[in-house]
Amino acid sequence: MKKEDMVKLISAEGFEFVIDKDAAMVSQTIYNMLTSPGSFAETQHGEVTFPEISTTILEKICKYFYWHLQFASGKETEFPIEPELTLELMMAANYLHT
């Protein structure tokens, strides 16, 4: 669990999720952020704040990232989504280009 392989995602309420970079980069947006030339504040400190994404949603998204990494290797499982989260989750997914 090297520091360089992890990134911190922070929700609107300030909750911090420390996850693997590989997982975070399932989001095309985060991928572009971390691999962009030039230095943005986020890459300097290894943390990204999402003031528009709630803790519940961000947590769900982090789970999705890991699920996706597993799914990519062929295991067929469904990603469970509680119905009340659907809209917000889709909005966040659109935003994160996932």
Partner 1 sequence: MKRNRFEMEILKHRLLVDPNYANNTWKILEHAIMDILTNHKLGTLSFENLYRHAYEMVLHNFGEKLYSGIVTTMTSHLSGISKLIEDAQEEFFLEELNQRWADHNKALQMILNILMYMEIAFIPRTHKTPILELGFNLWRDIVMPRTRLRDTLLELVYRERNGEVINRELMRNIIKMLKDLGSSVYDEDFEQPFLEVSADFYSLNSSLSLIENMALLDMIVNDKYEDLGMQYNLFRRVPAGLSIVRDVLNLYIWDTGKQLVADLERLKDPVNFVQCLLDLKDKFDKNISLEFNNDNTFQNALNSSFEYFINLKPSSPEFISLFVDDKLRKGLKGLSEDGVEVLLDRVMMLFRYLQKKDMFEMYYSLHLANRLSSGKTISIGDERSLIDKLKTECRCQFTSKLEGMLIDMKTSQDTSVGGED
Which tokens sit at 36? 């962009």
With CB under 8 A as the contact rule, the residue among 20, 29, 46, 71 that binds partner 1 is 29
Judged by CB, which is closer to partner 1: 39, or 77?
39
Distance between CA 96 and CA 58 in Å, rounded?
A: 11
With CB under 8 A as the contact rule, the residue among 37, 74, 80, 83 that binds partner 1 is 37
With CB under 8 A as the contact rule, the residue among 49, 54, 55, 56 that binds partner 1 is 49
Interface size with partner 1, residues (CB under 8 A): 23
Q: What are the CA-CA distances from residue 98 to residues 10, 16, 19, 31, 72 (Å)? A: 18, 20, 16, 10, 14
Q: What are phi and psi of 88, to 5 degrees?
A: -60, -35
DSSP 9: E
What are the residues binding partner 1 (CB under 8 A)?
28-29, 32-33, 36-44, 48-50, 52, 87, 90-91, 94-95, 97
